[in-house]
Amino acid sequence: MTITTDAQSGQIRNHFRDEVESLLVREMERMFDTVPFTREFHAGTATDADYYRRHVVEIIQRIRLNNEVDAYSLYRMGSRHDRLAQKLARYLEEEYGHDAMFLQDARRLGLSREDVLSTPPFFATDLLIGFLYHSIHVDGPMPTMVWNWFVEWYSDRYNERITCKAEEHLGRDMVRGARAHLAFDADEGHVELMFSTVADVVRSERDAERVKQYLVRFVRLVGMYFQELHDATIGGAIDETVAA
Ligand SMILES: [Fe+2]
Ligand SMILES: [Fe+2]
């Protein structure tokens, strides 16, 4: 049996974090190269009113669906992973209601609560949510932790720039909710909290490989989402109905 000291496990954890963050940066770069408008949008050098408004709608839809996935994951953990369940419960408690911040922005952008909630999510979001439920059945708590950490990492890395550009283009009132959300994540230390849950579920080399595989798949699904967002707004609407 190998005994690792706290200092050693801290080092291993830092090394693992560097590794998965570089993997994410590489995968995101690949998305920027292949999905139109994603590079400018994430760099904060360009935005578009229709694209941004539809993005806000999907953020609201995804927050609500994701809270349900997290609650399901918590239920599935039962009493087998109490420490991890406590962290997820805390995270979920803090995430409930974040859709309301973006609903304020949507209203200022001209969309009522009914407009937003009656908009069907993009297919990529349906796939993501379906994949998350399926993954919980296959791999237990891991995929939930990896996805939530990814969401926080993404937000920390890109949302400030995305929001600044939208503010410049659309006006300060249109991004009040997005700004409040950014401040909340920074105050609550969500990136750190959720990375600690990823570290908790990695106990072997195989687990580490699974985490990387999930991250690659999540970025792929995010790329599909941005492709659909592009096609439905600035790229010209694509009709999903099949011609007879
Ligand atoms: Fe949030
Ligand atoms: Fe958060």
Specify if 6 maps to a domain: no
Number of structural domains (the chain) is 1
* Domain-embedded: residue 158: yes
Asked whether residue 215 carries a pLDDT value surpassing 90, the answer given is: yes
**19 lies in some domain:** no
Residue 120 lies in a domain: yes
Which residue from 77, 209, 94, 198 is spatially nearest to 136, judged by alpha carbons?
77
The CATH number of the domain holding residue 207 is 1.20.910.10
Distance CA 225, CA 121 (A): 10
Amino acid making up residue 170: L
Q: What is the mean pLDDT of residues 57-65?
A: 98
Cα of 190 vs centre of ligand 2, distance in Å, is 5
pTM (predicted TM-score)? 0.93
Please tell me the number of the ligand nearest to residue 59's CA. Answer: 1
Average pLDDT on 22-47 reads 98
* Ligand closest to the CA atom of residue 153: 2
Q: 177-205, pLDDT tens digit by residue?
A: 999 999 998 888 999 999 999 999 999 99
Domain assignment of residue 26, yes or no: no
- Say whether pLDDT at 238 is over 80: no
The rounded Å distance from CA 152 to ligand 1 centre is: 8
User: How would residue 94 be classed by pLDDT, with cut points 50, 70 and 90?
Assistant: very high
Task: Decide: residue 72, CB within 10 A, 0-12 exposed, 13-18 middle, 19+ buried.
Answer: middle
Vertex 147: Cα angle to 141 and 150 (nearest 5): 140
Contact 197, 148 (CB under 8 A): yes
Task: Answer yes or no: is pLDDT of 4 > 90.
Answer: no
Report which bound ligand comes closest to the CA of 64: 1
Model confidence at 241, pLDDT cuts 50, 70, 90, reads very low
Does any domain span residue 8? no
| Residue 108 Cα to ligand 2 middle (Å) | 23
Ligand 1 center to 131 CA (angstroms) = 20
Nearest ligand (C-alpha, residue 187): 2
Neighbours of ion ligand 2 (CB under 5 A): 185, 190
Where are the alpha helices (H) located in the chain, listed in sequence order?
6-34, 38-43, 49-77, 82-95, 98-108, 113-117, 123-139, 142-154, 160-170, 176-188, 190-201, 205-232
Q: Which domain holds residue 215?
A: 31-232
- What's the 194 CA to ligand 1 centre distance in angstroms? 12
* Ligand index nearest the alpha carbon of residue 63: 1
**CA of 19 relative to ligand 2 center, distance in Å:** 22
How far does residue 95's CA lie from ligand 1's centre (Å)? 5
Within a domain: 17: no
Establish if 192 belongs to a structural domain.
yes
CA of 237 to the centre of ligand 2 (A): 31
Q: Distance from the CA of 142 to the center of ligand 1, in angstroms? A: 20
